[in-house]
């Protein structure tokens, strides 16, 4: 076996390990409840921004439980929702049945999609593809499966917004990222997205918007909720479970962050910033 073959095999094994870790992380807690309670309107906003219409063939990448895929199906589109985590897909199937809509659910890696070139009229992702560790690979697949003239659309959390700042607060307590992995909130920077999409799209439009989250009674309630239901937060706390002092530090950091971003006028509320991206596939 040549050195090149051994290196290639090692790369494949390392990538498989990364994806297995991501799959396990997103199965922790109860992301379906979080998405439904905190950000249900984001999927509809993305579908409307993409102009999804009846008869369109739509792919939702890293779809989770179908926050965007289900509204696209309700608009009459032929929808495929794909995600790395089977548990989220199963929750999405249940939710689709509840809404009495039909769509296809596929387990798939955003960095190696099992679809043909130019197969879809619209390819979108709602706070999903941004968590794929290798941004160029994921962007390449996003573009590859969209037909020339088709629509690409994304909603991504910004680095400066609340969720981006939450990931920054958790970083010192998390395990080191695998080699080559890039931070998810980079997908919320306009210049990063322009670089990723390059000349494969025309007329990209990018708008920073916010979603209001007013479910929590206060900063500590937010922190405790995320500790219980959000996979990435649960994984970070598990990483430091043997150090009560570090757990207490992170407890304070997350509550302080929520307090900084929250408003007490008429009840505690936060506005979470995201970047809405739409573009046309060139070619």
What digits encode the pLDDT tens for the residues 115-164? 999 999 999 999 999 999 999 999 999 999 999 999 999 999 999 999 99
User: What integer is the mean pLDDT of 217-232?
Assistant: 97
105 found inside a domain: yes
Least confident piece of the model among 5-14, 58-67, 109-118, 193-202: 5-14
Question: 269: which residues sit within 8 A by CB, 6+ positions away?
Answer: 212, 213, 214, 262, 263
d(CA 89, CA 92): 5
217 found inside a domain: no
d(CA 67, CA 180): 29
SS3 31: helix
254 found inside a domain: no
249 found inside a domain: no
Question: 42: which residues sit within 8 A by CB, 6+ positions away?
Answer: 67, 68, 126, 127, 155, 211, 274
Domain residues for 139? 3-159+178-212+273-281
224 found inside a domain: no
pLDDT at 264 over 90: no
pLDDT at 84 over 60: yes
36 found inside a domain: yes
Burial class (CB in 10 A: 0-12, 13-18, 19+), 220: middle
- Number of residues that this document lists for the chain: 283
242 found inside a domain: no
Q: DSSP label at 175?
A: P
Domain count, the chain: 1
The whole-chain average pLDDT of the chain stands at 95
* 268 touches 219 (CB < 8 A): yes
Q: Residue 112 maps to which CATH number?
A: 3.40.50.150
d(CA 158, CA 87): 26
pLDDT at 4 over 80: no
The torsion region of residue 29 among left (phi > 0), alpha (psi -120 to 50) and beta comes to: left
79 found inside a domain: yes
């Amino acid at each position: 076996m040549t050195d090149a073959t051994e290196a290639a095999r090692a790369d494949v094994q390392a990538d498989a390990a990364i994806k297995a870790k991501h799959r396990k992380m997103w199965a922790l807690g109860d992301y379906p409840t979080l998405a439904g309670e905190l950000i249900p309107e984001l999927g509809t906003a993305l579908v409307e921004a993409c102009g999804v219409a009846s008869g369109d063939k739509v792919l939702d990448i890293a779809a989770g439980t179908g926050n965007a895929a289900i509204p696209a199906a309700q608009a009459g589109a032929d929808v495929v929702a794909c995600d790395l985590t089977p548990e989220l897909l199963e929750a999405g199937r249940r939710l689709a049945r509840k809404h009495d809509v039909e769509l296809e659910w596929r387990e798939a890696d955003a960095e190696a999609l099992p679809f043909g070139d130019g197969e879809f009229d619209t390819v979108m992702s709602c706070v999903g593809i941004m968590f794929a560790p290798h941004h160029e690979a994921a962007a390449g697949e996003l573009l590859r499966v969209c037909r020339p003239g088709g629509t690409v659309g994304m909603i991504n959390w910004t680095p400066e917004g609340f969720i981006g700042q939450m990931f920054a607060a958790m970083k010192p307590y998390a395990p080191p990222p695998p080699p080559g992995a890039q931070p998810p909130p980079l997908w919320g920077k306009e210049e990063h997205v322009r670089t990723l999409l390059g000349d494969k799209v025309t007329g990209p439009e990018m708008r920073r918007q916010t979603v209001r989250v007013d479910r929590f009674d206060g900063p500590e309630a937010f922190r405790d909720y995320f500790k219980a239901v959000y996979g990435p937060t649960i994984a970070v706390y598990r990483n430091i479970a043997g150090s009560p002092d570090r757990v207490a530090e992170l407890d304070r950091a997350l509550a302080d962050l929520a307090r900084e971003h929250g408003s007490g006028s008429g009840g505690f509320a936060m506005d979470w910033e995201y970047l809405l991206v739409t573009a046309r596939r060139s070619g």
